[in-house]
Structure formats: structure tokens, C-alpha cells
Amino acid sequence: MSKAPFKHLTLDDGSGYIFRAYFAIPPRSNSGGIPTNATFGFTNMLIKLLRDSDAEALATRPAAEAAFARLLVSPFQGFK
């Protein structure tokens, strides 16, 4: 068995973060009028998560891809 590349990997729900950021951050938009508050808030949340945790890597996935998370994590932590 090969050695794992990271001691701690954080897997988060990207869709949930984007949803929260869109409604939590006051409206922002770029020069073309496209809303950017979700992108701004999402990025800030991920930066805070990395700073506050001992994770060496971060993976984000859409909530619709829960099967992917089960595939990725279940062999290691019994994810159901």
C-alpha cells in the first residue's frame, strides 16, 4: 500500500457553501452586472476553513455528487 499524500484532507459541500454565501453576503456584482457575492463569500469561507483547520488539502464537491463522496471516503472512514 502506498503512503497517503496528505495527513488531513477536508471534503466539503460546495453547493451548501455557495448557497450560504449568495444569501449571506450583501449584493455585489462585476462591471457587467453579474452577481459575484457567492464567489466572494465562497472563497472567503474556504480560506477560513483552511486557516482554522489542520487540513493540508481541501476538496470541494457539489452536493448532487454525494455518491462521489461515498466512493472517495468509504474505504477509509466507513462513510455511509
pTM: 0.65
Parse the chain into domains and list their residue ranges: 9-77
Chain center to CA of 68: 14
Contacts of residue 35, Cβ cutoff 8 Å, sequence gap at least 6: 22, 27, 28, 29
Per-residue pLDDT of the chain in tens (80 residues, 90 and over written 9):
567 777 788 878 788 888 888 899 899 999 999 999 988 999 999 899 888 988 888 888 766 555 555 555 555 554 44
